[in-house]
Structure 1
Amino acid sequence: QSNSGASHLPAPPSMLTLSQFSGLLLAPENSAVCPSKTALAASELDHPIAHYWVWSSHNTFLTGHQLYSRSTDDMYRRILLRGVRSLEIDCWDGRQHEPIVTHGLTLCSTVPFAAVVAAIAEVAFQTSSAPVFLSLDMHCCERQQERIAELLSLHLGDALLTNAELEQGGAPAAVDLMGKVLVKAKVSMAVAGRLHEIHREAEARHAVGLACAIPR
């Protein structure tokens, strides 16, 4: 009778479905890092930010495949709420002078940059006050780059770290950047050359000032 009953039991699955496998990988219990081991006390936040590991995301806007999946602003909410602090935003020229976010030269869909930065502002510091880094992969023309700057200022406000704040001293400590959003991006060769020229002129003026201040 036991043998007869056993024959009616469903056979255990021989493999996981894609959905089950994804759920297994993303389950909090399967994290590669123990949260208690990475939590920092207030006394450990006085080092320059470059001294810390930062949890980062690549192509944050994509929901799946790198070549043909959907781009959505909701991915930024989900990633930030999971504790990630460095996000990637691929910026491209959109219609009507409104920049878009997508994986360029692929079949991936697009999402407005405005929607992305609004999503970031909405949840950036809900789970942590640690600084958020926005890595802009910039492919926009100058006009749409200016629009991106406007949108960042509009949605992030005082949370956006400015050049003036960076120039107040040396490398900022992690504690000084709590609740702040830092933006990093490459500039064009022409702009880079001009910035280098301005920097050299400033150094030359500083050297002259020192020479005049030193008594002979």
Structure 2
Amino acid sequence: SHNTYLTGRQYGGKSSTEIYRQVLLSGCRCIELDCWDGTGENKGEPIITHGKAMCTDVFFKDVLYQIRDTAFARSDFPLILSFENHCSKSNQLKMAKYCMEIFGDMLLSKPFDDYPLEPGVQLPSPNRLKHKILIKNKRLKADIEKLQMEQFLREGKLDEEDEPVENPEDIVGEEILAVCKYYFAG
């Protein structure tokens, strides 16, 4: 489902968490989330919107709750979340944290032992992935990714606008950092 969050037109349209519930109850197995850094009163939170297309925003976290509650209501087969990710590193860490907390065991957070992500090794079958949520996310270029993660771990922030944090590992936890490295920017 492309632009899943929109209730109508692509430009100037209204975003809604309810649409995610509706498409999942219709049997859809791949949905898109256009992820952006919140601005104004939403600053510091990842949001779902159509970028510069004058659409309304919904909170990333609220969309995850709708997905969790209806992901497997009509089908046991895996659900793919396609993230069109425009978020800063700090918001990507929040996204990883929210995915872990909200989806729990439904999230495929690391490869299965018998299906390592290596060249020449088959991926698991859809039957093996039943009741699992997978994330498709475009990662940053390796050199940029490495520098940003090192900066975040060293300074607790990524740019001048970020508030520094004492110890990033304490805030998001080791397991969440691992998920971030698996799916997001790490």
| Gap change, CA 1:191 and 1:78, over 3 Å in 2 | farther
| Gap change, CA 1:105 and 1:156, over 3 Å in 2 | same
Normalising by structure 2, we get a TM-score of: 0.70
| Gap change, CA 1:193 and 1:83, over 3 Å in 2 | same
Deviation at 1:171, TM superposition (A): 1.1
- Match among 21, 24, 27 for residue 77 of structure 1: 21
Q: Give the Cα separation in 1 of the matches to 2:110 and 2:123.
A: 12
3-state DSSP class of the match of 1:167?
A: coil
The count of residues paired between Structure 1 and Structure 2 equals 138
RMSD between aligned alpha carbons?
Answer: 1.7
Q: Give the Cα separation in 1 of the matches to 2:132 and 2:71.
A: 9
**How do 1:166-185 and structure 2 match up within 5 A?**
166-167=115-116, 170-185=122-137
Q: 1:134 corresponds to which letter in structure 2?
A: L
Q: Give the Cα separation in 1 of the matches to 2:143 and 2:94.
A: 17
Q: Select between 158-167 and 174-183 the one with higher mean Cα deviation.
A: 158-167
Q: Give the Cα separation in 1 of the matches to 2:51 and 2:143.
A: 23
The structure number with the bigger radius of gyration is: 1
| Structure with greater helix percent | 1
**How do 1:130-141 and structure 2 match up within 5 A?**
130-141=77-88
1:120 matches 2:72: no
Q: Structure 1 stretches (4+) deviating beyond 6 angstroms?
A: none
> Percent identity among equivalent residues?
38
**Structure 2: which 5+ residue stretches go unaligned?**
147-186
Counterpart for residue 11 of structure 1? none
Counterpart for residue 156 of structure 1? 103
Q: Give the Cα separation in 2 of the matches to 1:167 and 1:184.
A: 17
**How do 1:14-33 and structure 2 match up within 5 A?**
none
Normalising by structure 1, we get a TM-score of: 0.61
Deviation at 1:153, TM superposition (A): 0.6
